[in-house]
């Protein structure tokens, strides 16, 4: 019988050389950690769970430059200079091209400040020493991941978890949209799970790509915490013999846990276990690396039985990178001079926190009417990893996955910097929190999605060229390449 793709099923996979490492990046108790405008404290008073840095290094099977992916249990970068203080040191120390390093944050809202401009706050004197510690730990974890690379396979599967819920709640009193659980809108529940195994099948690391704001713990919490990510990791790693689990925070601008903004760390742990159990369920359903299910025929047993059997499957060794920028127009009312005048006259603690965040965000952009938003696109065999410094809505990932159903598509927010929310155009009139504080005009999410989809298509076309079949050649365009988002 002639086999067709419909008669065979396999997991999206990559084969190369892969290494993993972890470091503890927990800050000192007493550091400035006021992440919420409603918080009544300034200094962290303890630690719920330690914060971690996890690094994954990937190399082609033959000669070639590595890729390094580092996940830090931190919230967001207030200043571009502080983010570059860490990332540039890793690039320089390891001699990496900028396209080959991504440092992504878990986006916990219970972490320390990493902004040196807040040194005058209570506990602010600990920020710069912590940044120095963080920089050295990040360099160290990247070095150890690179030193540990060995032949391995990265295999992906899709699971489901309903921890994430829509958080645009229309207040019953008609006062507008509040940022909290909305039971009337179905949220994206996709969990993309990655498993790294050596050539004997032993699990070396796992990856959980999931879109849900780590906001279980709110302004009343006074402890340093990775939020739900900590218990999720513990749950997965307990089953995988302590193989490090790397969390990639997906496109979650409008997604968050149903129960959130609490001070009870047990709730954060419960949320984390829910995601961890879902990840383990996905893991248990995976085929061994390098195998596929193939239809073998129909066996008559009273009922006609469709017989599927495991067979060997060739794993892709393609490893490519693209780095480009997308021009996104900015809102006219968010000019720095307008914000500065409001800061000078503001005396409300909550409003001051909001204005300071917006002023810091706007300083990242030049005084033009557009922002050049960088994007990192990695192709690892049958998977595409998309990294941006935005907080994009889940439509960004669902649309890319809809367009490229034969591939695993992992979208990660808050990667290599932070530039703010990018919501869909149709949410601006409704007055959602994300659209109100976004620095971008309506239509920018759609521009970003189109631009990323066009780049994926370009890489797929390279794959289809006969002279590039199963190639490990990297495609590195001009770093200054910019697109208007319309392909």
Instruction: Convert the pLDDT of each residue in 98-111 to its tens digit.
Output: 999 999 999 999 99
Other C-beta atoms lying within 10 Å of the C-beta of residue 105: 27
> Is the predicted pLDDT of residue 70 greater than 80, yes or no?
yes
What pLDDT score does 171 carry? 84
Lowest-confidence region among 46-50, 136-140, 193-197, 337-341: 337-341
Each residue's pLDDT tens digit, 276-333? 999 999 999 999 999 999 999 999 999 999 999 999 999 999 999 999 999 999 887 6
pLDDT band at 175 (very low <50, low <70, confident <90, very high): confident
CB neighbours (10 Å) of residue 230? Answer: 24
Across the chain, mean pLDDT equals 91
Strand segments (E) across 13-51: 13-24, 46-47
pLDDT band with cut points at 50, 70 and 90 for residue 471? very low
Share of the chain above pLDDT 70, in %: 86
Residue-range domain boundaries for the chain: 5-287+316-330+365-483
Q: Is the pLDDT of residue 134 over 50?
A: yes
Go through the chain and tell me how many residues it has.
Answer: 487
- Rounded to the nearest 10°, the torsion over CA 81, 420, 229, 87 is -20
Q: pLDDT at residue 165 above 90? A: yes
Residue found by looking up tokens 């557009």 in the block: 370
Q: Do the strands 245-249 and 203-210 form a parallel or antiparallel pair, or are they unpaired?
A: parallel
- Residue 479: pLDDT band (50, 70, 90) is very low
pLDDT digits (tens, 9 = 90+) for 36-56: 989 999 999 999 999 999 999
Token couple for 330: 């900015």
- Residue 334, pLDDT > 90, answer no
pLDDT at residue 2 is higher than 90: no
Rounded to the nearest 10 degrees, the angle between the axes of helix 349-362 and helix 336-345 is 160
Task: Please say if the pLDDT value at position 354 is more than 80.
Answer: no
Other C-beta atoms closer than 10 Å to the C-beta of 182 total: 19
pLDDT value, residue 250: 98
* Range of weakest confidence among 58-67, 215-224, 235-244, 460-469: 460-469
Q: Following CA atoms 324, 435, 228, 377 in sequence, which dihedral angle do they give, to the nearest 10 degrees?
A: -10
Query: Looking at beta carbons, which pairs linking 291-298 to residues 24 or more positions away fall under 8 Å?
Result: 291/10, 292/8, 292/9, 292/10, 293/8, 293/9, 293/10, 294/3, 294/7, 294/8, 294/9, 295/3, 295/7, 295/8, 297/1
Q: Which three-class secondary structure state does DSSP give residue 410?
A: strand
Strand-pairing partners, residue 299, are: 305
Q: What does the pLDDT look like over 381-399, one tens digit per residue?
A: 999 999 999 999 999 999 9
More confident residue, 481 or 295: 295
252-273 residue pLDDT tens: 999 999 999 999 999 999 999 9
Reply yes or no on whether the pLDDT at 91 is more than 60: yes
474 pLDDT band (50/70/90 cuts)? Answer: very low
Helix (H) or strand (E) holding 103, with range, is strand 101-105
The predicted structure's pLDDT at residue 344: 66
Which one has a higher pLDDT value, 42 or 62?
Answer: 42
Would you state the pLDDT for residue 50? 98
- What is the pLDDT, as a whole number, of residue 441? 93
Question: How many Å apart are CA 321 and CA 305, to the nearest integer?
Answer: 44
The pLDDT, as a whole number, for residue 331 is 85
- The pLDDT value recorded for residue 337 is 59
DSSP code string of 262-277: BS-HHHHHHHHHHHHH
The tokens 């300083």 sit on which residue? 363
pLDDT at 467 over 70: no
């Amino acid at each position: 019988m002639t086999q067709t793709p419909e008669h065979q099923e396999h997991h999206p996979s990559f084969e190369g050389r892969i290494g993993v490492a972890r470091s503890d990046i927990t800050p000192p108790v007493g550091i400035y950690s006021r992440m919420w405008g409603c918080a009544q404290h300034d200094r962290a008073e303890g630690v719920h769970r330690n914060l971690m840095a996890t690094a994954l290094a990937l190399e082609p099977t033959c000669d070639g430059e590595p890729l390094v992916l580092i996940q830090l249990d931190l919230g967001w970068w207030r200043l571009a200079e502080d983010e570059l203080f860490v990332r540039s040191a890793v690039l320089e120390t390891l001699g990496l091209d900028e396209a080959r390093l991504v440092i992504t944050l878990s986006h916990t809202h219970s972490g320390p400040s990493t902004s040196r401009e807040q040194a005058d706050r209570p506990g602010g004197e600990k920020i710069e020493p912590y940044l120095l510690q963080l920089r050295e730990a990040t360099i160290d974890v990247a070095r150890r991941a690179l030193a540990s690379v060995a032949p391995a396979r990265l295999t992906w599967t899709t699971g489901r978890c309903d921890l994430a819920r829509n958080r645009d709640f229309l207040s019953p009193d008609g006062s507008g949209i509040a940022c909290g659980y909305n039971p009337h809108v179905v949220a994206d529940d996709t969990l993309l799970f990655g498993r790294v195994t050596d050539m004997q099948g032993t699990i070396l690391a796992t990856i959980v790509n999931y879109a849900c704001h780590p906001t279980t713990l709110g302004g009343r919490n006074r402890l340093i915490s990775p939020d739900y990510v900590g218990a999720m990791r513990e749950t997965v790693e307990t089953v995988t013999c302590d193989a490090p689990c790397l969390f990639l925070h997906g496109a979650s601008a409008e997604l968050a846990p149903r129960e959130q903004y609490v001070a009870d760390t047990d709730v954060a742990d419960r949320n984390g276990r829910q995601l961890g159990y879902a990840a383990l369920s996905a893991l248990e359903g995976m085929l061994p690396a390098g195998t596929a299910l193939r239809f073998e025929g129909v066996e008559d047993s009273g009922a006609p039985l469709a017989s599927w059997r495991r067979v060997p499957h060739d794993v892709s060794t393609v490893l490519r990178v693209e780095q480009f920028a997308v021009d996104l127009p900015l809102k006219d009312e968010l000019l720095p001079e307008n914000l500065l005048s409001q800061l000078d006259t503001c005396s409300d603690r909550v409003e001051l926190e909001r204005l300071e965040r917006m002023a810091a965000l706007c300083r990242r952009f030049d005084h033009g009417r557009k922002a050049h938003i960088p994007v990192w696109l990695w192709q690892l065999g049958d998977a595409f990893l998309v990294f941006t410094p935005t907080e994009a809505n889940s439509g960004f990932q669902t649309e890319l996955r809809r367009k490229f159903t034969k591939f695993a598509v992992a979208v990660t927010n808050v990667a290599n910097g932070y530039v703010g929310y990018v919501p869909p155009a149709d949410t601006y009139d409704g007055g959602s929190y994300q659209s109100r504080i976004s620095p971008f005009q309506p239509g920018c999410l759609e521009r970003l999605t189109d631009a990323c989809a066009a780049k994926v298509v370009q890489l797929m076309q390279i794959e289809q060229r006969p002279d590039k079949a199963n190639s490990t050649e990297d495609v590195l365009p001009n770093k200054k390449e910019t697109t208007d988002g319309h392909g």
